[in-house]
Chains A and B, each alone.
Chain A
Amino acid sequence: MTSDDAPGGPGTQRRRADDRARVSTRTEVREAIRTEIAADAPTTSEMRVRRENAGMPVIELDHVSLAFDEPVLEEISFAANEGETVVVVGESGTGKSTILKLILRLLVPDKGRVLIDGEDITHLSFEEALKVRQKMGMVFQGAALFDSMTVFENVAYPLREHTDLNEDEIEARVREKLQFVDLDADQVMQMMPAELSGGMRKRVGIARGIANNPELILYDEPTSGLDPLTTGTITRLIMKLQRELGVTSVVVSHDIRSAFRMATKVALLYEHHVVFFGTPEEMAGSDNEYIRDFLGGF
């Protein structure tokens, strides 16, 4: 050990000075980043909205129960915070899609509450529910495109219904959304849904779902019925939406592989109950027998 390295020696002092310098550089860099971020920061009203929402779940299901002739869902609780993606997995017929219908208020729970942005939507009138739904974009299992309309009209539909955009602005928005989902707008815009392949229909369905720039997007089995290659593409597309638009998403799926790729949190349904709610890592590390079975070889 040289004297330089001894505690309190000249070497140590030099290092401390270096550290101080580094700290001050770091502060400067941070400051610089902060100013840069501030330059394209959201407007004050957007900031306010975000701050109000911060820490509050965008979607929350609070002890929700629903039965038709027999119980479908019992005491379901989970929440999705802003920007998170919650994937609901479970075997077929466990009421996964019903959860989406509850969030959309196409169904009303027998017990419990469904909160969107902190607002309880269970007691809203039909007209009020139509308004709340405008915050949401829904991607249906079979895309559910209106087959009497062209692709353009399908994507433009929510814009024509709920915005005052003129025709040029609508066309620009439709092109933007179609390009976002990697479709050639010029090629597909005038096609009818029946002329599209399964993957393309899904993409147009997603484009229509995001046309109105919704705060939250719901997906019903986005990858079912697609070949492995298209499944990968659609999964990547959903992840791109999360990354670039920062939307909150709820995905219903039985495809555990793509679920793990896109999920911030996973909710596992079993016999009408949520038996697990947590991060994919926690799920993979769980020693619960059913979860291990469900994950199978994955």
Chain B
Amino acid sequence: MANVFQRLNDWAKGVVLAIQDYFTLAWNAIRFAFARPFYGSDLVQQMDAIGVGSLGIVLLTGFFTGMVLALQSSVQLKTFGATLYIGRLVSASMIRELGPVLAGLMVAGRVGSGIAAQLGSMKVTEQIDALNTLGTDPIKKLVTPRVLAALIMLPVLTIINDLVGIIGGNVIASAYVGLPTSLYWRTVWEQIAAGGFTFRYIPNDFIQGIAKPFVFGGIISVTACYYGLRTTGGTEGVGQATTRTVVTASVLILVIDYFMTQVMLAVFSE
């Protein structure tokens, strides 16, 4: 019995320690962004890899998601004779939920796994130790540019994803339902305006839609760097780090998305 408690105790300590390490890494990554030396070229390189590199899959998923949303809702709305509202439905779903979450999941799969694999192999081939030995802080050189790049690029990708999704909805609305394009876009805008504005000009829907990917970008990059830098046990370890990154980041994105939605609905509902 004592043995069980002992093991439970060790496990709990391990979990607390891991969470502490995770947040220390996140804190250091952000803190180092404001301390010399700056690795500007690494940041640009990562922004290119994370942002431009993910553009293809984001365009593809966004477009098809928008189309399928329009298609499904047209069937449902037709029974009420309310196909006019396709635009409202597509824009609300894309901007508030599917845009950020899908872009997040796509980037977690594509970029998160890549970062974990790269840092993991650097760890097992002693390149991380080599950086330390050459007087460079690996967190500053490797983690900070990746976290910053993800924080900047994920909102950008999400905006593109939203836009392409709404365009996809437009294609289906006019091709299958026969809804005029001008009417579609007017209902899209009506939906955005219905959410209210902050500082008079910024739609609340946009704030929701940008805050989420910003947080998701942080989750993906920090999780990937965390597992990458803790890789042990050769190539097998690299594989495990990659898998853990994608699973953990995806689950965290979905869970945190729920809580962020709840908070934002409370904030913007009045």
B132 pairs with A140, CB closer than 8 A: no
B126 pairs with A140, CB closer than 8 A: yes
Interface assignment of A162: CB less than 8 Å from any CB of chain B: yes
| Complex alpha-carbon distance, A146 and B121, angstroms | 11
| Complex alpha-carbon distance, A158 and B135, angstroms | 8
Interface string of A136-167 (1 = CB under 8 A from B): 10101110111100000000011001100000
- Within A51-96, the residues touching B (CB, 8 Å) are none
B132 pairs with A144, CB closer than 8 A: no
A104 pairs with B133, CB closer than 8 A: yes
B133 to A: closest C-beta gap in Å: 4
B127 pairs with A147, CB closer than 8 A: yes
Interface assignment of B257: CB less than 8 Å from any CB of chain A: no
B28 to A: closest C-beta gap in Å: 10
Determine which of A130, A144, A161, A162 lies in contact with B127 in the assembled complex, contact meaning CB atoms within 8 Å: A144
B135 pairs with A126, CB closer than 8 A: no
Residues of A contacting B122 in the complex (Cβ-Cβ under 8 angstroms): 146
Residues of A contacting B129 in the complex (Cβ-Cβ under 8 angstroms): 101, 104, 106, 138, 140, 144
Interface assignment of A98: CB less than 8 Å from any CB of chain B: no
Residues of B contacting A144 in the complex (Cβ-Cβ under 8 angstroms): 125-127, 129-130
Interface assignment of A243: CB less than 8 Å from any CB of chain B: no
Determine which of B125, B132, B136, B137 lies in contact with A104 in the assembled complex, contact meaning CB atoms within 8 Å: B132
B108 to A: closest C-beta gap in Å: 22
Interface assignment of B2: CB less than 8 Å from any CB of chain A: no
| Complex alpha-carbon distance, A140 and B129, angstroms | 9
B133 pairs with A136, CB closer than 8 A: yes
Interface assignment of B134: CB less than 8 Å from any CB of chain A: yes
B41 to A: closest C-beta gap in Å: 11
**Which residue, B122, B132, B135, B137, has most C-beta atoms of chain A within 10 A?**
B135
Residues of A contacting B136 in the complex (Cβ-Cβ under 8 angstroms): 130, 161
| Complex alpha-carbon distance, A144 and B122, angstroms | 8
| Complex alpha-carbon distance, A170 and B127, angstroms | 22
| Complex alpha-carbon distance, A105 and B106, angstroms | 40
A133 pairs with B126, CB closer than 8 A: no
B38 to A: closest C-beta gap in Å: 13
| Complex alpha-carbon distance, A130 and B136, angstroms | 7
Interface assignment of A134: CB less than 8 Å from any CB of chain B: yes
Query: Which partner residue on chain A sits nearest B136 by CB separation?
Result: A161
B168 to A: closest C-beta gap in Å: 37
| Complex alpha-carbon distance, A161 and B131, angstroms | 11
**Which residue, B129, B130, B134, B136, has most C-beta atoms of chain A within 10 A?**
B134
Given contacts A142-B126, A146-B127, is CB(A161)–CB(B134) below 8 Å? yes
Residues of A contacting B134 in the complex (Cβ-Cβ under 8 angstroms): 133, 157-158, 161, 208
- Within A83-121, the residues touching B (CB, 8 Å) are 101, 104, 106
Residues of B contacting A142 in the complex (Cβ-Cβ under 8 angstroms): 125-126
| Complex alpha-carbon distance, A162 and B36, angstroms | 12
B135 pairs with A134, CB closer than 8 A: yes
Residues of A contacting B130 in the complex (Cβ-Cβ under 8 angstroms): 138, 140, 144-146
| Complex alpha-carbon distance, A176 and B41, angstroms | 27
B143 to A: closest C-beta gap in Å: 14
| Complex alpha-carbon distance, A136 and B37, angstroms | 21
- Within A268-298, the residues touching B (CB, 8 Å) are none
A237 to B: closest C-beta gap in Å: 19
Residues of B contacting A141 in the complex (Cβ-Cβ under 8 angstroms): 126
B125 pairs with A130, CB closer than 8 A: no
| Complex alpha-carbon distance, A147 and B137, angstroms | 18
B126 pairs with A161, CB closer than 8 A: no
List residues of chain A with CB under 8 Å of any chain B CB. Answer: 101, 104, 106, 126, 130-131, 133-134, 136, 138, 140-142, 144-147, 157-158, 161-162, 208
Q: Contacts A144-B125, A145-B127 given; 17 further ones with Cβ under 8 A?
A: A101-B129, A130-B136, A130-B137, A133-B133, A133-B134, A136-B133, A138-B130, A140-B126, A142-B125, A142-B126, A144-B126, A144-B127, A146-B122, A146-B130, A157-B134, A162-B135, A208-B134
Counting from the closest, the 5 A-B pairs by CB-CB distance are A144-B130, A144-B126, A138-B133, A134-B135, A130-B135
